[in-house]
């Protein structure tokens, strides 16, 4: 809140919406007809808003992962994020994850060296602040794995989450997987796809 640049009314709106959604502010307005930041914001926020219709509730890994999945897919960007990808988190030890073209290589190295973020921590993050840059990248990769290799079952998973089923029972019901099984399948996907 201390560094928020908007008006008090805009700040109240942002607080009421838990920092999600909102509207383009002055810095998003296009200059000379186009602005890459505006396009990124529209894709990011549209994906997040639509996903709220699909799953409701608070699934930060899914909201941020899906938003970044679409901005990377459609524009090759990650200019706007709800988590810190730009090296200011002490947990990331100065790592910068703002270049989407690098993400597959980064994740492949993590998996090869067995140093990717803990899956349980990623899936159970209660707020966007709970996700650091590395966990956000794993969220993006999980969404890419589900959307790319398991599209129809992914939709079933989203429906279970919307019905209020917790992530592990939802995985078990749709895929027959535990969290450990998901981690094994995701790692296999990373090795083959990245």
Residue 33, pLDDT score:
56
| pTM of the complete model | 0.82
- Which 3 state secondary structure label does DSSP give 83? coil
Q: Which H or E run contains 63?
A: helix 60-75
Distance CA 95, CA 126 (A): 23
Per the CB < 8 A criterion, the answer to whether 126 and 166 are in contact is no
The phi and psi torsions of 110 (rounded to 5 degrees) equal -55, -45
- Note the pLDDT of residue 83: 80
Distance CA 186, CA 192 (A): 10
**Average pLDDT, integer, range 155-175:** 95
121, containing H or E segment: helix 119-123
Predicted confidence (pLDDT) per residue in 24-55, tens digit: 554 555 555 567 777 888 888 888 888 888 78
Question: Of the candidates 1, 143, 121, 124, which has an alpha carbon nearest to the alpha carbon of residue 64?
Answer: 143
Q: How confident is the model at residue 182 (pLDDT cuts 50, 70, 90)?
A: very high
| Both structure tokens of 129 | 């602040």
Q: Which two tokens stand for residue 67?
A: 């938003």
Residue 146 has phi, psi (to 5 degrees) of -65, -50
pLDDT band of 17, cuts 50, 70, 90 = low
| Average pLDDT value over all residues in the chain | 84
Name beta bridge partners: 34.
31
Token representation of residue 4: 């928020």
Question: Taking Cα atoms as reference points, which of 156, 151, 185, 166 lies closest to residue 59?
Answer: 166
Q: What integer pLDDT is reported at residue 90 of this predicted model?
A: 47
Rounded Cα distance between 131 and 138, Å, is 10
């Amino acid at each position: 809140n201390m560094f928020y640049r908007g008006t008090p009314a805009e700040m109240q709106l942002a607080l009421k919406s838990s920092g999600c959604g909102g509207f383009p502010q002055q810095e998003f307005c296009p200059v000379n007809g186009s602005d890459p930041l505006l396009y990124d914001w529209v894709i990011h926020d549209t994906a997040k808003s639509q996903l709220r219709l699909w799953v409701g509730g608070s699934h930060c890994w899914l909201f941020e992962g899906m938003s970044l999945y679409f901005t990377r897919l459609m524009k090759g960007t990650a200019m706007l994020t709800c988590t810190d990808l730009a090296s200011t988190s002490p947990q990331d030890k100065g790592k910068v994850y703002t270049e989407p073209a690098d993400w597959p290589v980064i994740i492949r190295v993590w998996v090869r060296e067995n140093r990717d973020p803990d899956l349980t921590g990623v899936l159970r993050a209660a707020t966007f602040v709970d996700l650091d840059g590395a966990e956000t990248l794993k969220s993006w990769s999980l969404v890419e794995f589900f959307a790319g290799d398991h599209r129809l079952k992914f939709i079933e998973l989203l429906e279970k989450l919307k019905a209020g089923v917790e992530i592990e029972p939802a995985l078990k019901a749709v895929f027959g997987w535990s969290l450990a099984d998901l981690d094994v399948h995701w790692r296999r996907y990373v090795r083959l796809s990245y």
